Amino acid sequence: MQDSPTTITPRDTIEDAIVSGILNARIRPGTRLSENQLAGLFGVSRTRVREAMMRLETRCIVHVSPRRGWFVVEPSAEEAMMVYGARRVIEAGLLRSMRALSDEGRAAIRGHLAEEKAAMDAGDRQRLTCLMGDFHIRIAELAGNPVLIEILRDLTARTILISMLYQSDFHALQSHLGHCRIAEAMEDGDFAKAAELSIEHLDEVETGLDLTQRPDPLSELRSSLSLPPRSVPSSDGGTKTKSTTTKGE
Amino acid sequence: MQDSPTTITPRDTIEDAIVSGILNARIRPGTRLSENQLAGLFGVSRTRVREAMMRLETRCIVHVSPRRGWFVVEPSAEEAMMVYGARRVIEAGLLRSMRALSDEGRAAIRGHLAEEKAAMDAGDRQRLTCLMGDFHIRIAELAGNPVLIEILRDLTARTILISMLYQSDFHALQSHLGHCRIAEAMEDGDFAKAAELSIEHLDEVETGLDLTQRPDPLSELRSSLSLPPRSVPSSDGGTKTKSTTTKGE
DNA sequence: TTGGGCTATCTTGCATACAAGCAAGGACAG
DNA sequence: CTGTCCTTGCTTGTATGCAAGATAGCCCAA
């Protein structure tokens, strides 16, 4: 797993490096991303680092705290639910829209499941995290719609951040089995069933999260003092829903 | 429909202004967006204009031709199909995921349909374009998932650009009726049917496009010379699918 | 008239400089 | 010892300057 050389800089290396780091669970949520440090690291000026950050910000992967710094997002419990909700909708819709599985598709899925199994046997948790996310991207790739692939990639990145925050222990086996069931239905050509299984699977994963504790480092203190649990974990801007709609009359 | 005053500049006015302009069909695909002009228009320096452009670029709403300028995207026929495909998946998935319609929800939908009808009667095509797009955002708002809302908003913007490029004439009545049918199924609580209708509706709209001619200004000349139609309309990078996946050893 | 090449101008790409603001640590008064 | 204030350093925010490249128009030659 060699690190990519930072000498050649094909335009958006910084962005990709960070996303890749998150996808591989090497960058934790809340990590501070200093413009100067990154600029030094990549041998460019702050300008280009900033551009990358702006892009990542519109993808909801980092956020800026004014004059304090850039940070990898720490999704709130509410946001986490929304991300899972969006994934349920999109992935179920995607599966339902599929009609048949090509031979390469079948092979790709089987190959992926084998990789998952190998990583599980090897106990390589980082790699497993990454593969678990990739499974869903693989399906999108099968459908061959780049628009959806890109959307799911970003949602997967956010999902991994969520896992790192809220997943107390890793039910790898359970997830793997879920994937296997979905794959089976797909091989049977029963995509409606695959869609249902996909929803169930995401439900399972979501309920496997501990959405009350993690993002609040004071939770232990709070509970030992018998204070009520914080209403909304992240009280800054919250979910950003810009009103760029119609603006009718 | 007053224009927003450009005096107060709350951070991302430029971005919103452009998206809003597209949503209202006031900005055509292919429009050149000069950094200097926008900077002057909004009374800021190029830096901030560039930031806005970068953000819009990650949302696939503008693109940059190196050292030539920024342009509002002109989706290729292929891209157009992908966008419609993504919308079918997401909107059908969304409707299927819905369980019941609140009273406010019902009212919102009815209100929207009334607006569509009014605009149709008034023959206000711009407003109609905008409303037609908004219908689908309204549904997402009903589901109350900000993540999906944001995704659909961007897809809607791209859809409107596609319409402006490929829609020879505007089947407003047909679209409106499609919306009405979907709404009816929703009011009946039959969301599976609403999902199916939604897919049909998007299919109708898509097949109503003329995906062979428009983006190529030479098409008329080409056909009068009996040359074969261009294989792939946009032969530049094509659909950008960055390889930000696993990169596992 | 036509074709080739040059230049003038305008575009973005990128780095840098300066301004504004936050945070932490120390000095100091109570 | 404790609380307050100030200073210092480091962060991002924004503008500007310069360089590289592309385009269009012009001149000139054939």
**% of chain B with per-residue pLDDT over 90:** 74
A-facing residues of B in 31-60 (CB < 8 A) are 50-51, 54-55, 57-59
Please tell me the distance from the alpha carbon of residue A239 to that of residue A233, in angstroms, as a whole number: 12
CA A25/CA B42 separation, integer angstroms: 41
Among the ranges given (A92-101, A121-130, B193-202, B208-217), the one the predictor scored with the smallest mean pLDDT: B208-217
Residue nearest C13 (alpha carbon to C1'): B67
CA pair distance B168, B211, nearest whole angstrom: 10
A89 touches chain B (CB under 8 A): yes
Residue B45 Cβ < 7 Å to strand D: yes
What is the rounded distance in angstroms from the CA atom of residue B38 to the CA atom of residue B44?
8
- Amino acid A9: pLDDT: 52
Residue A115 has pLDDT above 60, yes or no: yes
Whole-number CA gyration radius for chain B: 20
Strand partners for B222? none
pLDDT at B6 over 50: no
Which ranges of B8-59 does DSSP label H, i.e. alpha helix? Answer: 13-23, 35-42, 46-58
- Strand C nucleotides, any atom under 7 Å from protein beta carbons: they are 11-17, 20-23
Mean pLDDT (whole number) for B200-220 = 76
Residue A230 confidence (pLDDT): 44
pLDDT at residue B172, as a whole number: 87
Residue A4 has a pLDDT of: 37
- Amino acid sitting at position B106: R
Q: Is the pLDDT of residue B33 over 60?
A: yes
Write the CATH number of the domain with boundaries A77-207: 1.20.120.530
For residue A130, the number of C-alpha atoms closer than 13 Å in the C-beta half-sphere is 21
Mean pLDDT of B165-190: 92
Separation of CA A209 and C1' D11 in angstroms?
A: 34
A64 band by pLDDT with thresholds 50, 70 and 90: very high
What is the reported pLDDT for B213? 61
Spatial distance between the Cα atoms of B168 and B205, rounded to a whole number of angstroms: 12
Integer distance in angstroms from the first to the last C-alpha of chain A? Answer: 56
Dist CA A18 CA A56 (whole Å): 9
Q: CB neighbours (10 Å) of residue A14?
A: 24
Sign of CA dihedral A71, A19, B63, A44: positive
Tokens of A159: 């999902």
Domain ranges of chain A: 13-72, 77-207
- Residue for token digits 């607006």? B115
Architecture of domain A13-72: Orthogonal Bundle (1.10)
Burial class (CB in 10 A: 0-12, 13-18, 19+), B121: exposed
Are B146 and A244 an interchain contact pair (Cβ–Cβ within 8 Å)?
no
- Give the whole-angstrom CA distance, residue B167 versus residue A103: 37
By Cβ distance, the residue of A137, A239, A242 closest to B16 is A242
Write out chain B residues lying below 8 Å of A241, CB-based: 146, 149-150
Kindly state the tokens that stand for A182: 């979905």
Q: Which of A141-145, A173-177, B124-128 is least confident?
A: B124-128
Q: Using alpha carbons, select from B238, B233, B27 the residue that is nearest to residue B130.
A: B27
Phi, psi of A231 (to 5 degrees): -65, -60
Computed over every residue of chain B, the mean pLDDT equals 85
State which residues between 40 and 59 of chain A bring their CB within 7 Å of strand D: 46-47, 50
Q: What's A2's DSSP letter? A: P
- Torsion, CA A140, CA A143, CA A148, CA A154, rounded to 10: 10
Question: Which residues of chain A does B248 touch, with a Cβ-Cβ cutoff of 8 Å?
Answer: 1, 24, 127, 130-131
Q: pLDDT tens digits, residue range B54-113?
A: 999 999 999 999 999 999 999 999 999 999 999 999 999 999 999 999 999 999 999 999
pLDDT at residue A3 tops 50: no
CB distance A234 to A79 below 8 Å: yes
More confident residue, A181 or B169: A181
Q: Are B101 and B168 in contact (CB under 8 A)?
A: no
CA B156 – CA B84 distance, rounded (Å): 10
Chain center to CA of A75: 11
Q: What is the mean pLDDT of the segment spanning A185-189? A: 97
- B224 phi and psi, to 5 degrees? -70, -20
Task: Give the pLDDT band of residue A213 (cuts 50, 70, 90).
Answer: low
A150 vs B24: CB contact, 8 Å cut-off? no
* Single-letter code of the amino acid located at B47: T
Residue A218 CB contacts under 8 Å (≥ 6 apart), including other chains: none
Q: Is the pLDDT of residue A171 over 80?
A: yes
Q: Does A3 touch chain B (CB under 8 A)?
A: no
Distance CA B125, CA B63 (A): 27
Asked which of A191-195, A237-241, B167-171, B179-183 is least confident by mean pLDDT, the reply is: A237-241
Q: Which chain B residues are within 8 Å of A12, Cβ to Cβ? A: 242
The dihedrals phi and psi of B137, each to the nearest 5 degrees, come to -65, -40
Strand partners of residue B85 = none
Q: What is the mean pLDDT of chain A?
A: 85
The string of pLDDT tens digits covering residues A125-162 is 889 999 999 999 999 999 999 999 999 999 999 999 99
pLDDT of residue A2: 39
Look at residue A185 in the predicted model and tell me its pLDDT.
Answer: 98
Looking at the predicted structure, is the pLDDT value of residue A28 above 50? yes
Q: What pLDDT shows up at residue B233?
A: 36
- pLDDT of res. A161: 96
Contact yes or no for B186/B53 (Cβ under 8 A): no
